Structure formats: structure tokens, C-alpha cells
Amino acid sequence: AQKITQTQPGMFVQEKEAVTLDCTYDTSDPSYGLFWYKQPSSGEMIFLIYQGSYDQQNATEGRYSLNFQKARKSANLVISASQLGDSAMYFCAMREPYSGGSNYKLTFGKGTLLTVNP
């Protein structure tokens, strides 16, 4: 079963507008973490934002914020005031314990390709 689901293969947004990229996850462990990464056409993976399962507040980093809805198991990325340079592939990832121990694996979704139009 998919652990991380990103249902939007592609998204378009006008420059300066806000956009939400969806991510839902599946885990039975109470301790987990959620990450968002950006991958521009150059191929590098850029860490954007992190949300822990016990964090009381939604994470924010500059123009990025994470809309964390624990009961719905969703962790959507919100990008405010989109810029042309935001055009990239965006991946949601989950850190979860491996075999119930203290070691962790990192699982990624299939990604969403965001295009920002001028």
C-alpha cells in the first residue's frame, strides 16, 4: 500500500498567487515526521520544511507552510506568492520507525510537478 500519496501529478499557478500541493500519508505509528522537498530541473533535492507528528503548530519556513491535519493524515504544502523559480517537482516524504525500533526509514511520494506561469 502507498505510504505517501500525492494525487496531483501536475499543477499550474499564476505568478504571485498561492498554491497548495496535497499529500496524504498512512502510518499506524504515533511517532513520525513529514518532509517536503523541491527538485528543480537541475535535479538537486532541496529540503523545504518539516513537521513532526507531535508538533502542536503547523510548520512555516518563509513562503512555505505546512497545513498539517493529523486526523485526516494530510500534510499539504502551501506556497504563498509563487515565483517563476518555484517551478519544479515537489516531493512529500515520511520518516517512520522501521520494525518498531528506533531506526527510521524515509519514504517518498510520486511527486507533483508545479509550473508557475508569468
Partner 1 sequence: DVKVTQSSRYLVKRTGEKVFLECVQDMDHENMFWYRQDPGLGLRLIYFSYDVKMKEKGDIPEGYSVSREKKERFSLILESASTNQTSMYLCASRWGHLNTEAFFGQGTRLTVV
User: H/E element holding 42?
Assistant: none
Q: Would you say 94 and 77 are in contact if contact means Cβ atoms under 8 Å apart?
A: no
Residues in a beta bridge with 117: 14
Q: What are phi and psi of 86, to 5 degrees?
A: -80, -10
One character per residue 52-71, x = contact with partner 1 (rule: CB under 8 A): x-------------------
Q: Which is nearer to partner 1, 12 or 104 (CB)?
A: 104
Q: Which is nearer to partner 1, 13 or 111 (CB)?
A: 111
Work out how close the CB of 45 gets to partner 1 at its nearest, in angstroms, rounded to a whole number: 4
* Position 105 contacts partner 1 (CB under 8 A): yes
